[in-house]
Amino acid sequence: SSHEYKLNFKKSKEICLSYIQDAMLQKQWKKAAEFLTFYSESLEKDFSTEYVSPSEMIWRIGTEILCHHSHSSMKEFNSFTEQMKSLGVKRYLKVCLEHTFHLLCNGLIDEAYQNLSLSESWRFGEQTIIQDKEMKLIKAYRGLLDYYNWSKQKNILLEHGQDGFEDLSVEQEMHSCFRKAAVNLKEIIKIPGVWDLFVKCYVDLLEFYGDHNEARQVLNEYAYNSKFPANPNAHVYLYQFLKRHGESKKSLVSALKILHDVVPSHELMIDFNIMLQKSKKRKRRRLGLEVIFAVLDYAGWKENVKAWSCLAKQVKQIVISEKHLDWIQQEWNSRKDWWPAFHFSRYLAKRNWQENESLSYEKALVAGILLGKGCKYFKYVSHRGCQAQVKRFRILKKFVNKHNPVYLRISG
């Protein structure tokens, strides 16, 4: 019966697909290609109701095989892609985009550009939402390539400019590239999403032509629009922009403060802490302590000397001045039940001492102040340091012994 036939047909295609998959996963590209030719039968009678249709499967598998097959060439890849474009109208733009990526990865930037402009002019029936999205992406990538073109021309001009030689045609071309790039880049970054690369390029363009207000607006929108996913990079770009344009400390601090709230473990937090420590305002120094404590909560920072020295410096300052000990106390309260095991165990003392002496010095200072002179970490490191006749460890021991009452106040 026809139903049985359909069932058998489907089954045999499924088996074929699993053979292809097996061959590909064992890097037998030739075998996979042979099986794929059999699988193409399934195009004739597409009974499937699967998420991925056979024609899409063939496109994906074929691309993968051509990427790895030892005998494949760019020419073959191009002709395969052309065939795939005609195979499914709904997928046309997707295939084009993928083709462009492949060309780009192989360094064929001009061909990629051509490919993009060609697919931009493609029209089929009424545009669906997905098609609309894909079209925007294609335009955006063309904008990106325009941007690269622009920066190339810019570099040529800058080099020539030094020689005192002006080339009008290059300059004109550069400006036309700018216009083309700007239109498309502006369009894509309006859609909520992660567009780091496009935003950076667009801002670079705007800055070059001196449109700082627009650039700032774009970055602000990218960082603060709640429709966009929470993206720490957006805040980083904004901060870098503000820093480049010599903005006031206040705006820099507020930008970094938000970054601190979003990602307390960001690398910029070290700069932030240094900036805040230098500040004369009490509130900012308080924030600085909070920031550096938060950074060291994260496993990724556990062995970072820079971070530990920042904390050690600020804690030392506070202890010497004997003002604001309550700041330390407040920070320590939420950490005292797990920091000792996380940072100041005997095992870590041993290992840090062996692997990184300066790290163990900074940590021992913090441990001595936070946990007192009886703390395992401090005892081990200072003992070893004194044994090794390193001067700074002797000073450290004296310092901690002298300020031991501070520990009692913090823990009390």
Partner 1 sequence: PLSPQAGTTFVPRRGGMGESWEPADAAAVPLLPPNASCWVPSVAPQDILYRGVLRGKLQAGKCGATLDFTKKLSHFFVDHPEDAFGSLGRLLHQNFYLGNSKLKVSVHPAVTMPSITPPLAAAIPSLCPLSSLQRQARDCTIRMTALREVIDRLEATRGCPRKHLIPRLRWFSHLSRDWLFEVPLGLLADCVHEDLLLQWASLLFDDSPTGGALAWLPPRDMGARTGCLVYPGGQAMNHLCILPRGVSLGREGRGHVALPLAGSPDFQDVVLEELPCARGSPAQFELNGRIRQVAAAQVDGEDFVGVRSDYHCGVWRVSGRTGATPTPLQVIRTSVPASCLTVSPHLPGELAVCTQSGAIYLWNVETGLQRLRHDPQTMFFRDNSPWRWSDFTAHPRVLSCADRTGLQCLDTRAPTRCHFDLFKVGEEAGCQQGERVVLPMYMGRAYSSQHLITTQFSVYVLDERLPLVPVLKWAHMMKAPPLFAHLTPGGPRRSHKVLLGTSRTQELLLLQYRGEERGSGGGSRSACRLAGPPQKLHSIASCLQHLPAQLPHQHCLLQQRLGAPAAGLAAALQEDGSRESLLVFQLSEAGDEAERPQQPCASSQPSSAPQEAERPQEPCASPQPSPAAALRYRRWMQALSKGCGEPPQRSRPPTFGQKRLFTRKELEEPSAPSTLHRQARQRLHQAMRDGGRIQRWDPPPPALPQPLEPAAGDLDPLSTRLTAAWGWDWERWWEERTSFNMAQRQQALRERRRQQKRAR
* Footprint on this chain of partner 1 (rule: CB under 8 A): 3-4, 18, 21-22, 24-27, 51, 64, 67-68, 101-102, 104-105, 107, 109, 144, 148, 194, 197, 229-233, 262-263, 265-266, 297-300, 334, 337-338, 341-342, 345, 347-348, 351
Distance CA 93, CA 148 (A): 22
Closest CB 265 distance from partner 1, rounded Å: 7
Question: Residue 262 in contact with residue 254, Cβ under 8 Å?
Answer: no
Closest CB 317 distance from partner 1, rounded Å: 26
Distance CA 412, CA 409 (A): 5
- DSSP states of 34-67: HHHHHHGGGGTS----SSS-HHHHHHHHHHHHHH
Closest CB 386 distance from partner 1, rounded Å: 24
CA 144 to chain centroid, in Å, comes to: 18
* Residue 263 or 287 with smaller CB distance to partner 1: 263
* Residue 25 or 168 with smaller CB distance to partner 1: 25
* Residue 38 or 338 with smaller CB distance to partner 1: 338
Local structure of 101: helix, strand or coil: helix
Neighbours of 89 (CB within 10 A): 12
* Residue 57 or 219 with smaller CB distance to partner 1: 57
* Residue 51 or 165 with smaller CB distance to partner 1: 51
**Segment (H or E) for 203:** helix 196-208
Local structure of 351: helix, strand or coil: helix
Distance CA 89, CA 174 (A): 35
Closest CB 344 distance from partner 1, rounded Å: 11
* Residue 231 or 273 with smaller CB distance to partner 1: 231
Closest CB 392 distance from partner 1, rounded Å: 26
Closest CB 112 distance from partner 1, rounded Å: 9
